[in-house]
Amino acid sequence: MKLSARNKMPGTVTAIEKGAVNATVLIDLGGGTTVTAMITNASVEELGLEVGKTAYAIVKASDVIVGSD
């Protein structure tokens, strides 16, 4: 897989919660870190996502907001 995005984080799908149109996908990146993404149900099917399967959280954004306490 070749991408222009540099923030590619491999992990394991731990949950897929399908709604009427979209699905919430949880990816465990290890070390106690989980990424949650909302994608279409069609994308879940096209990507063949299943719990336990390896997937990549890929972030490409022109802006990143950082907060601190």
The residues spanned by each domain of the chain are 7-59
HEC readout, the chain: CCCCCCEEEEEEEEEEEECCCEEEEEEEEECCEEEEEEEEHHHHHHHCCCCCCEEEEEECCCCCCCCCC
Query: Mind listing the pLDDT tens digit for each residue in 8-60?
Result: 899 999 999 999 999 999 999 999 999 999 999 999 999 999 999 999 999 88
* 7-59 placed in CATH 2.40.50.100: yes
Query: What pLDDT score was predicted for residue 66?
Result: 83
pLDDT for 1: 75
